[in-house]
C-alpha cells in the first residue's frame, strides 16, 4: 500500500465521527493503519446513516417477511411486494433532514431524486411520490424560509422528473424549529421478470459508472446526516448535494432500456457515500450469495467535473444522478450504447473480483484495499445496543373548563384554521399530481392516494402517516397508532393494506430517554404490523435530529413515519372521503373511550398536549379495516373518512368542504348520557382512535348494519347530509351551527396566512 496521503491518527478518526474503539477495530481489520482515503471510506460506511449501528439490533425485531414479499427487508434498495398479474410494487421512504435544514431547496429536491433512484435501480418505473414534512412554528421567519424552500424543492424536482406527487402530510411543532423533517417516499411498478438486484456477481464482469460526472458536492453527506445539528451546521452547505431532475429523467429512461437488454447483472444507486457505498455494498451482497466476490476500480477512469479531485473526494462525493452497474462481460458496449443514445455518460471503471475485497486505484497506486464485508451493515460494521431509560414528558395538566363560558362556535372555527388542521392546498397545488394520468382522484378527496394500474382493473392505495405528539406522550402506543392510522386510511379508500416502509426520525441515540422512545415505538410498530399482516419491507433511520432552542439542545418529537401501500382489486370499488349526496345517512363506526389527551384541541385551548396518547385496540382496528373493505367491495358506502387530527367535528367539516366543487353540509345529533361542557369538548374534539365516519344511501342501512355486526364494529346513525348547513347537536341541544361557507372560510387559506406568504412573493 502506498501511503502518500495525510497521516491517520486517532484524533483524525475522531474528526471523522469514529470512536477510538472503532478506529482500533479498523486497524485490526486491515492489520495496519488505514490510509486517509480508507479512513474516509470507513467513516461514511460506519456512520449511523449507512451502518444503522445504533438501530439495526432493534430493527431486526420487526416483522420482515410475508407471503407477498419478493425480497426481505434490507436485502435490496427498496421493498418489493407482489400484487398479482406478474406485477410487483417497489416502494421506500427515506429522510433528507439535515441537508434540508441548511439548504432547504436542494436538500428536499435531492431527497426526492435519491428515493426515486432507489426504485428504478430495481427495474421499476416510479409512478407516485409522497412526502412527510415537519417544521417549527410558522411564526418564526426562519421556519417560513425552510417551508418555502422545501416545498419548492419537492415540487420542482418531482414536476420536472415527471412523477406525480399524490399525497403527504405536514405538521408544525415548536420542537422542529431548527431541525425540519423531510421524508420522501417513492412507489414504482415492475414486472416480476424485469427486476434487478443490487449485487456484484461474476468474476471479470465489468463495473460501470453511469449518469452525471463526479464533483465535490455532497462530500461527507452521510457523516453530516449522522451528527447533531448545531449553530455551526450552516458551514456544512458543501455537504448538501445539488440535483438535476432533467438529468435524472434521462438516467431513468436509459436505465430501464439497459435493463431490458438482459446484460445488466447488478445495479445500485449512488446515494449516501456515493461510489464508496455502491461498490462495497454490491460486493458484500455478492460475497453473501456466492461465497466470493469483490470489486476493483480505477478512479482515473471516473468522469469528474472538477480538476484536481483527490481519491478521498471522488470516493466520498455524493454528486447526484449516478449509479453503478455490473454488466455481463463482453456486452458492456451494448449497455454503453444505450446510455449514449440518451446522452448519458457510461464508463467502465473496474471489474468484479473474487478476493472479497474492495480495491481502489488512483494514479497507479492502491489507495483502498479493504475486506468488503467489513464495511457493511450485517458484516463488519459495529452494532450497538444503547441504554434505554423511560423519561415521561413533563407536560402541564389541563384544567378542563366545565362551565358554560366556552364559545364552541369560535373554538371550532379557530381549530379548523390551525396550521396542523387547515387545508394544505398551498403546498399540494405546487405539486403535479396528475402527470402520467394514473391518479384517480384529486388530492384530499380520498383518505389515501390512489393510482390505477394500467392494463388491469386494480388500483394501488398509498399513505404516509405519523402523529408524533402521540409518540412523544407514549412511544409504544404512538408507534401502534402510526401504523393503525395509515392502515385505516388505506381501508377507508376500499383497499386492503399490504405492507409498510418506515422512516424513523429521532434525537441522539446516546441519550437513554431517546433510545427508549426509539425502542418502544419500534415495538409498537411491530405489534401493529403483525396484527394487520403488513410486514416491514425496509426503510430508513434518521438519528441526531436535535437543535438549539433558547440556547438548549432539544430533541425533536420522536417521529416514526409510516409509508403504507394497499391494493384495490377493482378500481371501481374506490371510496372517497367527502360527502357525495344530500339525503345520505351519516354513520359513526367505532365507539372507543373518548379522551382529549394528545389532541390538537388540548394544545390550542389549554397549552398542553396532555398526559398520554389516545389508546389503540389492534383487534378492533383489524376488524374495522376488514369491515371497510367489505363495504367497498359490496358498494354499500358512498364515503369514508377516519376521525383523527381535530376530532369528530373537524372530520365532519372536512367531509363537507374538501370537495370544493360540490361542498355539502350535515345535520348531526349525538345521543349521550350527559352533555356537560366537559363532555361536549370530548365529543367534538377527542382524537380517540378506531373511528370512521361513513355516508350511505339510507336504503342500505340494514346491509351495512349486518356487515358491522359480522365484523364486531359498533355502529350508530348520527345525522344526515344536507346542502349548505353544518350543525351538531347533543341530545337535541344545538352546540354549533354554521353555513358550509363559514367552515370553508376558516379552513382554506389559513395556512397561507400563518406562513405570511405575502412576504415571500
* Contact of 521 with 468, CB cutoff 8 Å: no
Q: Which residues contact 341 (CB under 8 A, 6 or more apart)?
A: 254, 257
Give the C-alpha separation, 362 to 309, whole Å: 11
| Distance from the first to the final alpha carbon of the chain | 57
Taking CA atoms, 48 is separated from 17, 162, 223, 242, 747, in Å, by 10, 32, 8, 22, 41
Strand partners, 693: 588, 641
Note if 49 is an active site residue: yes
Give the C-alpha separation, 204 to 209, whole Å: 16
* Contact of 655 with 743, CB cutoff 8 Å: no
Q: How far is CA 366 from the centre of its chain?
A: 40
Reduce the secondary structure of 295-326 to three states and give it as a string.
Answer: EEEEHHHCCECCCCCCHHHHHHCCCCCEEEEE
Give the C-alpha separation, 229 to 273, whole Å: 19
Neighbouring C-beta atoms of residue 17, cutoff 10 Å: 18
* Contact of 465 with 482, CB cutoff 8 Å: yes
Q: Nearest 5°: CA angle at 531, between 527 and 535? A: 80
Q: Which residues contact 600 (CB under 8 A, 6 or more apart)?
A: 415, 418, 420, 421, 645, 646, 647, 685, 687
Strand partners, 352: 295
Q: What are phi and psi of 261, to 5 degrees?
A: -70, -20
Give the C-alpha separation, 596 to 685, whole Å: 7
* Contact of 83 with 460, CB cutoff 8 Å: yes
Helix (H) or strand (E) segment spanning residue 284: helix 274-290
Catalytic residue among 96, 98, 445, 638: 96
| Dihedral of alpha carbons 75, 77, 82, 88, sign | negative
Q: How many CA atoms lie within 13 A of 347 on its CB side?
A: 15
Q: Which residues contact 718 (CB under 8 A, 6 or more apart)?
A: 586, 587, 588, 668, 669, 670
Give the C-alpha separation, 594 to 600, whole Å: 14
Give the C-alpha separation, 703 to 637, whole Å: 10
Q: Which of 217, 213, 212 is nearest to 316 (CA)?
A: 217
Q: Which residues contact 296 (CB under 8 A, 6 or more apart)?
A: 350, 351, 353, 357, 358, 359, 360, 361
How many Å is the maximal CA-CA distance in the chain?
A: 87
Neighbouring C-beta atoms of residue 610, cutoff 10 Å: 22
Catalytic residue among 16, 49, 98, 445: 49
Give the C-alpha separation, 530 to 61, whole Å: 11
- One DSSP character per residue, 158-220 reads HHHHT--EEEEEEEE-GGGSSS-EEEEEEEEEEEGGG---S---STT-EEEEEESPB-STTTT
Note if 96 is an active site residue: yes
Q: Which of 747, 736, 714 is nearest to 578 (CA)?
A: 747
- One DSSP character per residue, 118-161 reads HHHTTTPEEEEEEEEEEES-TTSHHHHHHHHHHHHHHHHHHHHH
Helix (H) or strand (E) segment spanning residue 273: none
Give the C-alpha separation, 386 to 380, whole Å: 18
Residues noted as catalytic: 49, 96
Amino acid at each position: 500500500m502506498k501511503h502518500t496521503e495525510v497521516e491517520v491518527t486517532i484524533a483524525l478518526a475522531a474528526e471523522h465521527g469514529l470512536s477510538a474503539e472503532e478506529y482500533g477495530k479498523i486497524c485490526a481489520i486491515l492489520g495496519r493503519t488505514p490510509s486517509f482515503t480508507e479512513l474516509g471510506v470507513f467513516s461514511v460506511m460506519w456512520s449511523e446513516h449507512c451502518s444503522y449501528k445504533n438501530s439495526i439490533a432493534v430493527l431486526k425485531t420487526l416483522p420482515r417477511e410475508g407471503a407477498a414479499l419478493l425480497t426481505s427487508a434490507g436485502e435490496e434498495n427498496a421493498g418489493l411486494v407482489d400484487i398479482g398479474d406478474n406485477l410487483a410494487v417497489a416502494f421506500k421512504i427515506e429522510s433528507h433532514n439535515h441537508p434540508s435544514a441548511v439548504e432547504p431547496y436542494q436538500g428536499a429536491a435531492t431527497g426526492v431524486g435519491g428515493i426515486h433512484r432507489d426504485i428504478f435501480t430495481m427495474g421499476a418505473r416510479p409512478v407516485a411520490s409522497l412526502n412527510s414534512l415537519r417544521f417549527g412554528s410558522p411564526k418564526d421567519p426562519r421556519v417560513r424560509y425552510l417551508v418555502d424552500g422545501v416545498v419548492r424543492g419537492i415540487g420542482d424536482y418531482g414536476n420536472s422528473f415527471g412523477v406525480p406527487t399524490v399525497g403527504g402530510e405536514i405538521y408544525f411543532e415548536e420542537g422542529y424549529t431548527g431541525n425540519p423533517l423531510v421524508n420522501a417516499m417513492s412507489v414504482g411498478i415492475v414486472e416480476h421478470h424485469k427486476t434487478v438486484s443490487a449485487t456484484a456477481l461474476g468474476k471479470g464482469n465489468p463495473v460501470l459508472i453511469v449518469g452525471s460526472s463526479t464533483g465535490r458536492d455532497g462530500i461527507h453527506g452521510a457523516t453530516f446526516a449522522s451528527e447533531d445539528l448545531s449553530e455551526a451546521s450552516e458551514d456544512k452547505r458543501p455537504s448538501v448535494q445539488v440535483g438535476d431532475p432533467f438529468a435524472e429523467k434521462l438516467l431513468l429512461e436509459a436505465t430501464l432500456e439497459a435493463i431490458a437488454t438482459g446484460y445488466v447483472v447488478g445495479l445500485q444507486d449512488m446515494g449516501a457515500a456515493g461510489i464508496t457505498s455502491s461498490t462495497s455494498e454490491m460486493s458484500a451482497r455478492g460475497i453473501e450469495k456466492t461465497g466470493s466476490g469483490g470489486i476493483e476500480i480505477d478512479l482515473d477512469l471516473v468522469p469528474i467535473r472538477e480538476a484536481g479531485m483527490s481519491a478521498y473526494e471522488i470516493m466520498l462525493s455524493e454528486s447526484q444522478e449516478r449509479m453503478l452497474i455490473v454488466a455481463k462481460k463482453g456486452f458492456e458496449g451494448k449497455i454503453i450504447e444505450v446510455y449514449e443514445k440518451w446522452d448519458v455518460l457510461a464508463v467502465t471503471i473496474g471489474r468484479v473480483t473474487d478476493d472479497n475485497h474492495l480495491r481502489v486505484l488512483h494514479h497507479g497506486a492502491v489507495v483502498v484495499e479493504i475486506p468488503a464485508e467489513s464495511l457493511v451493515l450485517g458484516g463488519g460494521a459495529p452494532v450497538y445496543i444503547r441504554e434505554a431509560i423511560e423519561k415521561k414528558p413533563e407536560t402541564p395538566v389541563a384544567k378542563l373548563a366545565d362551565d358554560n363560558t366556552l364559545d364552541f362556535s369560535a373554538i371550532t372555527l379557530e381549530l379548523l384554521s390551525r396550521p396542523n388542521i387547515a387545508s394544505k392546498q398551498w403546498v399540494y397545488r405546487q405539486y403535479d399530481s396528475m402527470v402520467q394520468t394514473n391518479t384517480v382522484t384529486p388530492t384530499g378527496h380520498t383518505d389515501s392516494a390512489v393510482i390505477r394500474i394500467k392494463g388491469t382493473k386494480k388500483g394501488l392505495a398509498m399513505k404516509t402517516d405519523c402523529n408524533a405528539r402521540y409518540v412523544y406522550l407514549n412511544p409504544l402506543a404512538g408507534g401502534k397508532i402510526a401504523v393503525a392510522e395509515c392502515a385505516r386510511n388505506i381501508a377507508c379508500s376500499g383497499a386492503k393494506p399490504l405492507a409498510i416502509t418506515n422512516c424513523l426520525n429521532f434525537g441522539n441515540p446516546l441519550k437513554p430517554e431517546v433510545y427508549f422512545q426509539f425502542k418502544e415505538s419500534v415495538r409498537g410498530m411491530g405489534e401493529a404490523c403483525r396484527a394487520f399482516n403488513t410486514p416491514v419491507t425496509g426503510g430508513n433511520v434518521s438519528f441526531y435530529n436535535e437543535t438549539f432552542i433558547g440556547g438548549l439542545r432539544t430533541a425533536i418529537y420522536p417521529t416514526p413515519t409510516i409509508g403504507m401501500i394497499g391494493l384495490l382489486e377493482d378500481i371501481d370499488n374506490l371510496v372517497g372521503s367527502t360527502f357525495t349526496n344530500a339525503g345520505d345517512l351519516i354513520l359513526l363506526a367505532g365507539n372507543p373511550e373518548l379522551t382529549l389527551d394528545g389532541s390538537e384541541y388540548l394544545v390550542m385551548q389549554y397549552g398542553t398536549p396532555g398526559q398520554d396518547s389516545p389508546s389503540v385496540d389492534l383487534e378492533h382496528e383489524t376488524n374495522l379495516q376488514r369491515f371497510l373493505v367489505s363495504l367497498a367491495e359490496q358498494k354499500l358506502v358512498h364515503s369514508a373518512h377516519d376521525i383523527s387530527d381535530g376530532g369528530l367535528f373537524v372530520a365532519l367539516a372536512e367531509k363537507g368542504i374538501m370537495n370544493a366543487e360540490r361542498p355539502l353540509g350535515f345535520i348531526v345529533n349525538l345521543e349521550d348520557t350527559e352533555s356537560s361542557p366537559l363532555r361536549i369538548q370530548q365529543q367534538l374534539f377527542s382524537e380517540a382512535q378506531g373511528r370512521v365516519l361513513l355516508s350511505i344511501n339510507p336504503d342500505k342501512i340494514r346491509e351495512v348494519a349486518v356487515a358491522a355486526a359480522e365484523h364486531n364494529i359498533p355502529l350508530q346513525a348520527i345525522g344526515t347530509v344536507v346542502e349548505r348547513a353544518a350543525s351538531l347537536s347533543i341530545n337535541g341541544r344545538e352546540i354549533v351551527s354554521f353555513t358550509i361557507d363559514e367552515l370553508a372560510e376558516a379552513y382554506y387559506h389559513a395556512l397561507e396566512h400563518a406562513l405570511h406568504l405575502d412576504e415571500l412573493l
